[in-house]
A and B are shown apart, each in its own frame.
Chain A
């Protein structure tokens, strides 16, 4: 999780400052944000969560047009990797697009309005309670799902609090996150001063993967009987392995297996999806991993982890956040 953090820090800083210097003072994106993003946010805050349903109805057709490139990629991915018929893949890809619109709208909702905005149904809670009985924590294993924010809010309401391990870095903010990529110097300075303190040290309720203390923060949470949520479907940590995922070779994080091995905490698959106007969170039986053997056991544990993720993806392909990523063909 913090692999190479120190060695790469200097180069990241250099690249970061070089890019920052090359930015214009104000970009079109800054102006666009002032024109639509912030007013929209204020509007949503004023009208409350109910207005999101109406906004969603209006925004979905526009979203499909704007995301038609991503829609094609998702469709291709579902056909090639999940073996869906083209018609079925198209329907799922469209649902995936609509889900992304919903997620974007959800992001507009200020945190104080988020709880209670969407009902959340919890299934398989007994698996979680059973796993937490011995007094130690558990690691929740979930895919990058579009409904994760509302799921977390709903679980909090139900008394289930977890700390997600998230991948946020300077370069992530600078290059990849569309919310910050095109900022000019003026807005960037504003964003940076608010974001960076939050990213690693002062960020509460999250553990950032690039935080040098990430793994020890996880250890603290687990031994205090807490829950940590990890999403191994991207290669963002030091424990990255090439694995066969969805009939293609991908680099994925398997650090949660190390955490489970060392802390003795169970790995519990958590499925999250939207169904109509509600969000469903389903906990499953702990993964049957074994840490007694050597290399072979490790391979079989990785297989168990991958199979758990594949099952979830096949059940709810329209909920996966990463269909638009160009990394699908990566080997």
Chain B
């Protein structure tokens, strides 16, 4: 289970670094409570990140979860992604 979560964090790290042009490690991500604590996240960056997550995990995030609070809450996002069917 831990390995699966670790893989999720690493994939999320890839999305953030690719979409936002950031250089953060999965360890830093796991230590941060919120994404906007680590990277400057204006509206376009938020959209880039959201679409990046959807593409990386081949999912469509439900409309009621599409809000800034949820998308920047990294533990909640990872918990959500971990519950998705593989």
The stretch of A21-29, A43-51, A63-71, A212-220 in contact with B is A212-220
Which of B43, B60, B67 touches A238 (beta carbons < 8 Å)? B43
Q: Which residues of A contact B51 (CB under 8 A)?
A: 219, 262-263
- Asked if B71 and A216 sit within 8 Å, CB to CB, the answer is yes
Nearest residue (CB) in A for B46 is A215
User: Interface residues of A toward B: which range?
Assistant: 20 to 34
State in angstroms the CA–CA spacing of A247 and B19 once bound together.
35
Known: A213-B68, A216-B66, A220-B63. A2 touches B46 (CB 8 A): yes
State in angstroms the CA–CA spacing of A223 and B63 once bound together.
10
Residues from 183 to 237 in A contacting B, C-beta threshold 8 Å: 212-217, 219-220, 223-224, 237
Q: Which residues of A contact B68 (CB under 8 A)?
A: 2, 212-213, 216
- Asked if A216 and B44 sit within 8 Å, CB to CB, the answer is no
State in angstroms the CA–CA spacing of A230 and B72 once bound together.
25
A1 within 8 A of partner (CB): yes
Query: What's the minimum C-beta distance from A305 to chain B, rounded to whole angstroms?
Result: 15
Nearest residue (CB) in A for B65 is A216
- Asked if B50 and A2 sit within 8 Å, CB to CB, the answer is no
B20 within 8 A of partner (CB): no
B28 within 8 A of partner (CB): no
Which of B43, B50, B67, B71 touches A1 (beta carbons < 8 Å)? B43
Nearest residue (CB) in A for B47 is A215
State in angstroms the CA–CA spacing of A237 and B46 once bound together.
14
- Asked if B71 and A238 sit within 8 Å, CB to CB, the answer is no
A259 within 8 A of partner (CB): yes
State in angstroms the CA–CA spacing of A252 and B39 once bound together.
25
Q: Which residues of B contact A115 (CB under 8 A)?
A: none
A239 within 8 A of partner (CB): yes
B10 within 8 A of partner (CB): no
Q: Which residues of A contact B36 (CB under 8 A)?
A: 6
Q: Which residues of A contact B67 (CB under 8 A)?
A: 213, 216
- Asked if A215 and B63 sit within 8 Å, CB to CB, the answer is no
A250-263, CB under 8 A of B: which get 1 and which 0?
00000100110011
B64-76, CB under 8 A of A: which get 1 and which 0?
0011100100000
Query: What's the minimum C-beta distance from A225 to chain B, rounded to whole angstroms?
Result: 13
A57 within 8 A of partner (CB): no
- Asked if B66 and A219 sit within 8 Å, CB to CB, the answer is yes
A3 within 8 A of partner (CB): yes
Known: A2-B68, A213-B67, A216-B67. A255 touches B43 (CB 8 A): yes
Known: A212-B68, A220-B63, A220-B66. A3 touches B43 (CB 8 A): yes
Chain A to chain B contacts (Cβ below 8 Å), 21 pairs: A1-B42, A2-B42, A2-B43, A6-B36, A214-B43, A215-B44, A216-B46, A216-B47, A217-B66, A219-B47, A219-B66, A220-B66, A223-B60, A238-B43, A239-B42, A239-B44, A255-B43, A258-B47, A262-B44, A262-B48, A263-B51
Question: Top 6 A-B pairs ranked by shortest CB distance?
Answer: A1-B43, A215-B43, A238-B42, A3-B42, A216-B66, A2-B43
Show the binding face of B for A, using Cβ within 8 Å: 36, 42-44, 46-48, 50-51, 60, 63, 66-68, 71
